[in-house]
Chain A
């Protein structure tokens, strides 16, 4: 498989705290890559370097390179807004805007300059279909997004991300606030989405990583301990620490 994201000797500091230590990896296209590891090991931090959401945190320092489709995303001629359009993100807590279902999805396209009602209708429908939510909401698109259940809200957030036509979808524990059935729905959705998108997900749930991902990366204290095919990592880990973690001996 083709590598879409290449991370090369990446170090990240929050002030003086060394949060990511010399990380190198290649993340393949149109597949699901899962980040696992105990709390505070830097999974979210690494995920957020991929769409430069860490830029907002004062005192963050980065060296090394992160490139997507061959372009260094921390390079001089990169437009952060274009990057973030291409690299969508879904957060741990569903965070729809306090607007209608329709407006949530149409939001990004509208602000990126699409005004034709017909075009917007089309984007909204396609995105909601893409997020497996269309059938549930098609008759009340004008209702507030807050009238949806948590799982539906999370799928709405996925639809909202899909509406700006990303290539990559970052999911930071996107199911940890959801009930098992909603979680399962989102996992199935992820399986469908990987046909068209490259997905990187952070999860605390090892079963989830084992169920849905193609590659798994195990982190500890800001370092990559092991990175391999999911099946291999869970059945036959190379590192003792991985073995200990996946068998539940710590974390």
Chain B
């Protein structure tokens, strides 16, 4: 067989496999959306769940998911980017940094249920955070930090050396060069990594079962003082997220319309993840263009 034929066969196989994956994905999405969307309404999105009767909603869960996402990213992004900058620009290649890198790799391959149990032991019990948004956000940070660090490190390493030298040769300090030349160039890649991390947070259930908990207290959506116990913004209250809610309804839902609620909630989850992805990518591109004056 000539190299050319082999090449052609390999290419068609790859295209076929990619095509099948796309089809399966599209079918899955279509099915979930078709089954779920008919159940989605304003009422469904804003009202509280009903354990035993028809007509429950997912309002608090939806809010919990979004709020937990924000909390997690507030912790993850600065830590992850900071550590990534350190690893790529300041850390000398030695035993310690190799060890850190190893830990990061291992951490990122941990099953999320293990991260959840770790969160239970450390944040919930040891730090006395109880089942709370804070404990959940910390567990998700453990879960996400390796990804953020690695993405940032690689994004910075892929900035051409010549750009870095150009900055240094102008007499800019190392930090100014990183901040004003390298980070903007690495921004789209870091943004993509952040989206990936955020998507994982939004869909994550296992790591949250024993950290953010499986219940939501009665919330008063008119009280936005984070220090009040019934305020939605209180980070120390338990919070069942959308993904956890879906899992719970599927496992032990008692309401007569439980399957529809699960389907509707899944559809909402998917749509939000998709929206978030596309929105953030567009934003990333726009900011990159603004930074770099490319048209």
- B-contacting residues of A (Cβ < 8 Å)? 51, 53, 56, 58, 81-86, 88-89, 91, 93, 95-100, 103, 107-108, 111-112, 142-146, 157, 160-161, 164
Contacts and interface: CB of A to CB of B under 8 A. Distances in A.
Contacts of B292: 98-99, 144
Contact of A84 (B163, B169, B181): B169
Contacts of A97: 163, 166, 181
Given A84-B168, A97-B163, 9 more contacts: A84-B171, A85-B170, A88-B169, A89-B169, A98-B185, A98-B291, A144-B294, A160-B166, A164-B171
Contact of A103 (B166, B170, B171, B293): B293
Interface in B266-295: 291-295
Q: Interface centre among B162, B166, B172, B176, by most A CB within 10 Å? A: B166
23 contacts: A56-B168, A58-B93, A81-B172, A82-B171, A83-B171, A84-B169, A84-B171, A89-B169, A91-B169, A95-B160, A95-B166, A97-B181, A98-B185, A98-B293, A99-B291, A100-B293, A107-B170, A111-B176, A143-B293, A144-B293, A144-B294, A145-B293, A160-B170
B62 to A, nearest CB: 39
A96 to B, nearest CB: 8
Contacts of B92: 58
B173 interface: yes
B169 A111 contact: no
**Size class of the B contact interface (CB-based, 8 Å):** 20 to 34
A142 B171 contact: no
A93 B171 contact: no
A121 B5 CA distance: 60
Nearest to A86: B171
A53 B180 contact: no
Contacts of A164: 170-171
Contacts of A93: 162
Interface of B: 92-93, 160, 162-163, 165-166, 168-173, 176, 180-181, 185, 291-295
A98 B294 contact: yes
A112 B176 CA distance: 10
Contact of B166 (A83, A91, A100, A111): A91
Given A97-B181, A98-B185, A111-B176, A144 B295 contact: yes
Contact of B293 (A108, A111, A142): A142
A91 B170 CA distance: 12
Contacts of A98: 185, 291-294
A71 to B, nearest CB: 16
A157 B293 contact: no
A91 B165 contact: yes
A84 to B, nearest CB: 4
A142 B171 CA distance: 24
A84 B169 CA distance: 6
- Closest 4 A/B residue pairs (Cβ): A85-B171, A98-B292, A100-B293, A84-B171
Contacts of A53: 165, 168-169
B168 A157 contact: no
Contacts of B163: 95, 97
B171 A99 contact: no
A143 B293 CA distance: 7
Chain B CB count within 10 A is highest, among A93, A108, A111, A164, for A111
Given A53-B168, A84-B171, A91 B294 contact: no
B33 to A, nearest CB: 39
Contacts of B165: 53, 89, 91, 95
Contacts of B180: 107, 111
Contacts of A95: 160, 162-163, 165-166
Contacts of A108: 170-172
Contacts of B294: 98, 144, 146
Contacts of A84: 168-171
A86 B92 CA distance: 29
A161 B170 contact: yes
Nearest to B93: A58
B200 to A, nearest CB: 30
B64 to A, nearest CB: 40
Contacts of A107: 170, 180
Nearest to A107: B170
Contacts of B166: 91, 95-97, 157, 160
A227 to B, nearest CB: 25
Of B172, B185, B293, chain A has the most CB atoms within 10 Å of the CB of: B293
B49 to A, nearest CB: 50
B293 A91 contact: no
A164 B171 CA distance: 8
B168 A99 contact: no
A106 to B, nearest CB: 11
Nearest to A84: B171
Nearest to A170: B169
Nearest to A112: B171
